[in-house]
Amino acid sequence: MPSLLDIRRRIRSVKNTQQLTKAMKTVSAAKLRRAQERVFSARPYAEQLKRVLGNLTSRLEDVSHPLLEIRSEERILLLVITADRGLCGAFNANINRTAQAFIREHKDQTIHLVMAGRKGRDFFRRRAVPIRSEFVNIFSRLDYGHAKDISEAIGKAYTNAEVDAVYMVYNEFKSVIQQRVVVEKVLPLGRADLRETEAPLDYIFEQPPQEIFNRLLPRYVEIQVFRALLESAASEHGARMASMDTASRNAGEMIDMLTLNMNRIRQAAITREIIEVVSGAGAL
Amino acid sequence: MADGTIDLTIVTPERAVVHEEVDELQIPGAEGYFGVLLGHAPLFSELKVGEVAYRKADRWFFLVVAWGFVEVQPNHVRLLAETAERAHEIDIDRAMRAKQRAEERITRGGEDVDYGRALVALERAVIRIQVARKAEHAVNA
Same domain, B28 and B62: yes
A130: part of which helix (H) or strand (E)? none
**Residue A34 sits at the chain B interface (C-beta within 8 Å):** no
- B69 assigned to some structural domain: yes
Domains of chain A: 4-26+242-274 (1.10.287.80), 31-240 (3.40.1380.10)
From A148's Cα to the closest Cα of chain B, the distance in A is 11
Instruction: Say which of B11, B41, B44 has its CB closest to residue A44.
Output: B11
Q: pLDDT category, A244, cuts 50, 70, 90?
A: very high
User: What does the DSSP assignment read for A70-94?
Assistant: ----SEEEEEEE--SS--STTHHHH
Alpha-carbon span A278 to A3, nearest angstrom = 24
Taking an 8 Å cut-off on Cβ atoms, the answer to whether A41 and B29 are in contact is no
Kindly compute the dihedral angle of the four CA atoms of residues A240, A242, A244, A245, in this order, to the nearest 10 degrees.
Answer: 160
Distance from CA of A44 to the nearest CA of B (A): 7
In this structure, the answer to whether residues B13 and B58 fall within a common structural domain is yes
A88 touches A239 (CB < 8 A): yes
Compute the distance between CA of residue A39 and CA of residue A227 in angstroms, rounded to an integer.
Answer: 7
| Domain co-membership, B22 together with B59 | yes
- Indicate if B38 and B83 belong to the same structural domain: yes
Regarding an ipTM greater than 0.90, the answer is no
Instruction: Please name the residue of chain B whose CA is at the shortest distance from the CA of residue A204.
Output: B43
Residue B126 lies in a domain: yes
The 3-state DSSP class for residue A245 equals helix
Candidates A217, A197, A178, A233; CA nearest to A42 is A233
Assess if residue B1 is contained within a domain: no
Please give the Cα distance from B18 to B61 (Å, whole number).
11
Q: What is the pTM of this model?
A: 0.83
Contact between A44 and A151 (Cβ < 8 Å): no
Nearest C-alpha in B relative to A220: B13
User: How many domains does chain B divide into?
Assistant: 2
Same structural domain, B108 and B78: no
Q: Which domain holds residue B127?
A: 90-140
Mark yes or no for CB contact A216/B69 under 8 Å: yes
Say if residue B132 is in the same domain as residue B80: no
A88 flagged as catalytic = yes
Helix %, strand %, coil % of chain B (to 5): 35, 45, 25
Which tens digit of pLDDT belongs to each residue from B70-91? 988 888 898 998 888 887 777 7
Q: pLDDT by residue (tens digit) across A153-205?
A: 988 888 888 889 999 999 998 888 888 899 988 888 766 666 655 556 677 88
Whether the Cβ atoms of residue A168 and residue A183 lie closer than 8 Å to each other: yes
Tell me the CATH number at B127. 1.20.5.440
- B57, B96: one domain: no
* CATH number, position B46: 2.60.15.10
Rounded to a whole number of angstroms, the distance from the CA of B137 to the nearest CA of chain A is 31
Distance CA A17, CA A6 (A): 17
Instruction: State whether B83 and B16 are in the same domain.
Output: yes
Say whether both B77 and B120 belong to one domain. Answer: no
